[in-house]
Amino acid sequence: MCSSPICLRKIRLLLCLRAAWVVWITNPSASSGQESIYKFVGTRQRRVSTFLIYNFQMRFTLTLLLALGLSACASFGTSNTPTPTIPTATPQPPTPTPPPSVAMVNGEYITQVEFDAELNRYKTAFPNAEDSQARQIVLDDLIAQYLLAQAAREENFEVTESDLQLRIDALGSPDAIAQWQSAFGYDDASFRVILKRSIESAWMRDKIIADVPNSMEQIHLRQILTYNEADAQAVLQRLTAGEDFDELASLYDPVTNGELGWVPQGYLLSAEADQAVFALQTGEVSGIISTEAGFHIFKAVERAEHELTPDALLTMQELALKNWITEQKENSNIVLMQ
């Protein structure tokens, strides 16, 4: 049975609550005029998307109040009291009607046009994606992008017109940008809006992941992995009877001897596995933990502060971003209109 670092990454994928997690990458040097695309990175699908956002005022109803006045009655005899004038209401401009939208995030509309354009881009990259799943992924992505951009502005991050123009100039030729706009239904004005929001969102994303340390407490793990519960129970009985874990691990995986390396808390992205592993003391062996990958028995070889591997660092950054977005959603006013 394989327990190599490559297999560990596969296990982590199977343990993910959601296989495709959002990572946003802006690319100012792209020559195609496309700020970013949906693509695969390594073995994990990462949705890499331009932030397509419109900024509209929240719709509200205006009511004109008519002021009523009464003329003064003439008193007995002559009176020098002036007749009061009747106040008139100042006409108010009509409230702009918002365009058809799919959601509103803290007063900002995600328009149907914007949603359809991003959905088109996603389906172009993943033509076999189920429609309902694709729609949910794109909507979740856009909501997260709005939250990130709004937070950036709250942090007083500002994208000036000159900054925006420099980014546009770096994207490629005007013809390439025009082709991109035509392909996904944008004009110059809306393109500038979404690009500005993209820069804001990317800045906030980078701020969040920059807080993830390069080293943290980790556990050096080995495992015995079987693909049916009966085998796992048999292994556990042999361990309980006193057989050596490392020898059994070598039996089930003679290539790596069950070596998984150093694992930070949250790396497995499974609440049960994460809790069980980090409850182990040095030298302690877990019970059987069932996942979609199979049946695992883990051993904590040692615990220590240790530098994160590049893959582990990326995972912890993704986790930090995911937790931030979850918290923002809980504290935001998000209205779905579909």
Q: Which residues contact 45 (CB under 8 A, 6 or more apart)?
A: 19, 20
DSSP label at residue 101 = E
- Assigned CATH class of 31-56+98-211+316-336: mainly alpha
pLDDT value at residue 87:
54
Which range, of 2-16, 87-101, 128-142, averages the lowest pLDDT? 2-16
Q: Which two three-digit tokens encode residue 226?
A: 């079987």
* 48-60 per-position pLDDT tens digit: 222 222 222 222 2
Does residue 12 surpass a pLDDT of 60? no
* 245-264 per-position pLDDT tens digit: 999 999 999 999 999 999 99
Q: Residue 82 CB: number of other CB atoms within 10 A?
A: 7
* 137-174 per-position pLDDT tens digit: 999 999 999 999 999 999 999 999 999 999 999 988 99
Q: How far apart are CA 255 and CA 249, in angstroms?
A: 10
Describe the chain by its helix, strand, coil percentages, rounded to 5: 40, 15, 40
CB 54 within 8 A of CB 110: yes
pLDDT > 70 in the chain, percent: 71
Amino acid letter, 9: R
Residue 54 phi, psi (nearest 5)? -105, 155
3-class secondary structure, 302: strand
DSSP label at residue 243 = -
Among positive and negative, which fits the CA dihedral 268, 270, 275, 277? negative
Q: Residue 282 CB: number of other CB atoms within 10 A?
A: 12
What's the CATH number for 5-12+215-307?
A: 3.10.50.40
DSSP label at residue 149 = H
Does residue 317 surpass a pLDDT of 50? yes
Q: Which single residue is written with the structure tokens 């770096």?
A: 170
Among positive and negative, which fits the CA dihedral 136, 139, 144, 147? negative
Q: Exposed, middle or buried by CB within 10 Å (0-12, 13-18, 19+), for 223?
A: buried
CB 221 within 8 A of CB 245: no
pLDDT-derived band at 25 (thresholds 50, 70, 90) equals very low
How do the domains of the chain map onto residue ranges? Answer: 5-12+215-307, 31-56+98-211+316-336
pLDDT value at residue 97:
77
Does residue 310 surpass a pLDDT of 90? yes
Among positive and negative, which fits the CA dihedral 114, 33, 162, 201? positive
- Nearest residue to 329 (alpha-carbon basis) of 158, 132, 188, 141: 141
